[in-house]
Amino acid sequence: MHPDLTDDRLSAARERCRFLLRLAQAGIASAFCVIALSFWSFQVGQHVRFAEMAENNHQRVLNLRALRGAVVDRNGDVLVQNRYSLDICLIREQVADLERTLALVADATGSDPEALRDALADGADVPVYRPVALIKDATQAQVAAVAARAFELPGVVVERNPTRHYPSGTIASHLFGYVGEVTDSQLRAATDERIRVGAVIGQSGVEHSYNRLLMGEDGARRVAVNSIGRELGTLEELPPAEGQPLQLTIDFDMQKAAEDAFAHAGFTGAAVALDPRSGEVLALASLPAYDPNDFARGIDGSTWSMLNNDARKPLQNRALQGRYSPGSTFKLVVAAAALQEGVATPDFQVDCQGGGVFYGRFFRCHSRHGTVAMDEALEKSCNTYFYTLGQRTGIDAIHRWATALGLGRPSGIDLPHEATGTVPSREWKRRQLGERWYPGETISVAIGQGSVAVTPLSLAVMMSTVANGGKRVVPHLLKAARTADGWIAADRPLPSSIDLNPATVETLQRGLWMAVNRAGTAGRARIRGRDVIGKTGTAQVISLEGRAAAEAANGDSRRFRDHGWFVFAAPRDEPQIAGVVLAEHAGHGYLAAPIARHMLETFFAKQADRPLPVLPPRARPAPADAMEADG
Amino acid sequence: MFDRRLYTHLDWSLLAAVFALCLLGLAMIYSTTYEAATGRVGPQLARQLWALAIGVVAMVVCLGIDYRLLSNRVALIYGGVAVLLACTLVIGSEQGGARRWIDLGPVNVQPSEFARMAVALALATFFGTSQRVRARGLDWVVGGLVVAAPFLLIIVQPDLGTAVTLLPVCLAVMVFAGLRLKLLAAIALVGLLLSPVAWMYALEDYQRTRLASFIDPERDPHGAGYQQIQARITVGSGGLSGKGFLQGTQSQYNFLPVAHSDFVFSVLAEEQGFRGVLVVLGLYLFVIMRSLEAARVAKDRTGLFLVVGITAGFAFQVIYNLTMSAGLAPVKGLTLPLMSYGGSSLIATLMGFGLILNVGMRRFAS
């Protein structure tokens, strides 16, 4: 036996092993206790936190965009609707050879491979399992071409996106406005909880003012996703609720007639037609226009800067944002003020010898009218007569009646960003310029020159008030909105009564009738049997001397030519339509009258259920430059 | 070879606990490889079932042959495993930059899993048949070399995780053979002091990031720290009673990688909750305690050392994996023995328990 293996030593070694085993048991048991406590801490103590993290891991909420309400005109014709744009998209995760796929897509759709590469680069932040749009709003042919080669193009898919659609293109673009993604400042100012990041809202026009009704309620889909984010199934779905369809007071044919007539005459400008009984807007046009469809899919930078930098300002709604000198159309206001204030009767006569001296200065008339009464003065637009009338009436009475008739105040139309014109008074001048009013200024104002400025819309309200005998209506566009219970008529804004004397109304209407139907300036708006009343006007863009200098320097005569106005209503006895036409740089108001005439003919043709009038072929490319000014 | 006495002395409760864990493992493999879309279970389940069958046979063989007989043939067994390890480096199939498996057509064998058993048997034989009651001097060197050969062969595969599991086997046997605890503490201290050096020179870049991300997982939540964060979410979201079988969102939607192997216990914690965790922890603790009981009653030193070595390796791997499953240890490719997917590991572990039961039931045999 080996000396080491004595009994003592063996039992000592055995004792040591027993001790070590107990030590190991204790150590391992305590390790298990610590592990159990750790699991307790995670699974019970911090369970809520980790459960939430697990939920965030595997659930995503996808927005389901609600369709905006459609918009129809007063006859039910669709003006604005929704369409589904088709986007050709690529899911990178499913594509093995990106370059080859891009080349194939470019080949199939006839697009530039470089543009596709750029589109893909723009979507670099999009997760690899989500589609990136290569071609937005693809044509049917492109979609068909991709579908035909689907076998070679795994990972290339076509997505449908609801998009606002304006079927008539540029027609009534300012009226409809456009939609766009909500901006940061809009987001901060928003009180509507439906307006969230990424929401598409109305940015101008009816789209803006009735966004509350048109905008639907977006839905949401809660989906389960796996670790790379691929959607595995829907856990819960809240369907989107479509916005309310709206009916406008607009008559599409009238709107088109106005814009067609402008195109036919080759002018830019604005036209408004109202129902003088209610204030319903039948047409509201502003030219040049833009295509709101460009905005519907998110406008591209070049189109946006082109629209913004265009000197002709296509984004401006001239009908309510343009401020122009009213010219002779303002004579109506002066006549009304004089009659209402009692400073002149309808028989009041003035002898026109081509002008007159007022406050020591000669003011000219465009002709020698001889002795004229008020109706004849309106018919012939005699400046001398209205210089005299203005002097007698005074600027404050003119201001008072102009404001009562609707000028120099917001009309209250249900469109955003309406500009307000200016009708001067002594008070106004003191406040604005800190100067006193010079009586000589009243003489210029009396024929619509000087510091008076109006919007075409306010002039339409003025004309409507004269036509209906003293009821100032509030122009409005919303006729009805559809709810779950069907179409509900919109509340009609209440008109204000301004108590015009019957004699005043009679005199003004007779003068306006004569202007159209006798030898007056507005003969081009005459329609047999319709008793159209109206008044032309010319808004000076630049003084006569200034124009000559500018033309010599610039060579571009058209830019400095005066604007032509025409205000109108018909029929004289029971007016159903009143309005205004502003033809920019037309040179004279009588060139605006044919535009109004086409609108009126369309109106009456529709009323009688006759075929719509057709514009005659154009006789000459542009009106001649040399026009006799009527003041 | 099988007499009635052996049969009655077999630790049936240990055997039952081991198989209970195997069955729980199969259930979790079912859950983690189940695909809701197709309604099918991955091929891993069938492979694991085959491994279990082979493992049972291997276990019966290890149980049936007297461990002293095996101890006499240790040179053959140890040498065979060493040759297999060497062969792996040459003819092993390469996966993910490492040669760990020998491809045998339908199955892959991972020889490193068997190395632990061979090392335990070799060390137990060496120290158990020594003429000295307490080993000293040269004995430690020889024992160290016995471990060093397979350790190095595994580490160059490279497979640091599996190689490290040899160390607790070696240390446990040496401590029971007489290595002083004070000396062990001194070695540990030196190791700790040398760790910065190891950090600089011995670790690969990916190992450094793993360790760094363990210390601060939020530093790189999508990269190296990802698994750890996901492990904690998986475990924590399970709550007290769990989300239910096949209902774990973390595992079913693949937020937790290698759920069927390394993180099988996290999935169990998610689907079965803290109650399930306690059941499984209890089973593992029971298995370890019963194994140490077999060591206590062992008839000779070889048997004692053999059981201690195998149990130490097993306990180390279990504790490490459980800690890692809770996101409390750096992610290392260490599976949970008996439950995780892995055929070679299951077979080798069952062989180990065969040896433990072998020693336990032959406590009275002559």
Higher pLDDT, B357 or B101: B357
Say if residue B222's pLDDT is above 60. no
Paired residues of A156 in beta bridges? A90
| pLDDT at residue A629, rounded to an integer | 41
The 10s digit of each residue's pLDDT in A453-491 is 999 999 999 999 999 999 999 999 999 999 888 999 999
Q: How confident is the model at residue B292 (pLDDT cuts 50, 70, 90)?
A: very high
If you average pLDDT over residues B130-138, what whole number do you get? 74
Q: Which residues of A touch B315 (CB under 8 A)?
A: 28
Across the interface, of B36, B255, B284, the residue whose CB is closest to A227 is B255
Residue type (1 letter), A321: Q
Helix extents (H) in B156-297: 160-164, 166-176, 181-201, 205-215, 226-238, 249-252, 264-296
Counting as low any pLDDT under 50, the low residues of chain A are: 1, 621-631
Is B222 or B318 the better-scoring residue by pLDDT? B318
Q: Do B296 and A42 touch (CB under 8 A)?
A: no
Nearest CA in chain A to B226: A227
* DSSP string for residues in B14-60: HHHHHHHHHHHHHHHHHHHHEETTTTEE-THHHHHHHHHHHHHHHHH
- Residues 6 or more apart whose CB falls under 8 angstroms from that of A445 comprise A330, A390, A395, A398, A424, A451, A452
Which site among B174, B237, B320 would you substitute to test the A interface, given the most A Cβ atoms closer than 10 Å to its Cβ?
B237
pLDDT tens, A45-75? 999 999 888 888 777 777 788 899 999 999 9
ipTM score for this prediction = 0.92
Task: Spell out the domains of chain A, with CATH numbers in brackets.
Answer: 62-92+100-248 (3.90.1310.10), 252-300+319-479+489-607 (3.40.710.10)
- At residue B261, the pLDDT reads 83
Determine contact, residues A332/A512, Cβ cutoff 8 Å. yes
What's the CA gap between A198 and B355, in Å, rounded? 68
pLDDT, chain B, mean: 86
Q: What is the pLDDT of residue A580?
A: 97
pLDDT at residue A626 in the model: 38
User: For position A4, what pLDDT does the model report?
Assistant: 55
Determine the distance in angstroms separating the CA of A218 from the nearest CA of chain B, rounded to an integer: 28
Residue pLDDT, tens place only, B170-210: 999 999 988 888 888 888 888 888 777 777 776 777 777 76
Summarised one tens digit per residue, pLDDT across range A238-255 is: 898 999 999 999 999 999
Among B233, B289, B323, beta carbon nearest to A50: B233
Return the pLDDT at B220: 57
CB atoms within 10 A of CB B294: 26
Q: Give the rounded distance of the alpha carbon of B157 from its chain centre.
A: 18
How distant is the Cα of B50 from the closest Cα of chain A, in angstroms? Answer: 30
Closest CA to A69 of A418, A487, A416, A491: A487
Residues B7-25: tens digit of each pLDDT? 788 899 999 999 999 999 9
SS3 state of residue A577 = strand
- Nearest CB among A28, A44, A226 relative to B315 is that of A28
Q: Which residues of A touch B (CB under 8 A)?
A: 2, 4-5, 9-10, 12-13, 16-18, 20-21, 24-25, 28-29, 31-32, 35-36, 38-40, 42-44, 46-47, 49-51, 53-55, 57-58, 224-228, 232
Q: What is the pLDDT of residue B3?
A: 64
Residue A589 identity: G
Q: What's CA B240's distance to the chain center, in Å?
A: 28
Average pLDDT over every residue of B285-312: 94
| pLDDT of the residue at A625 | 42
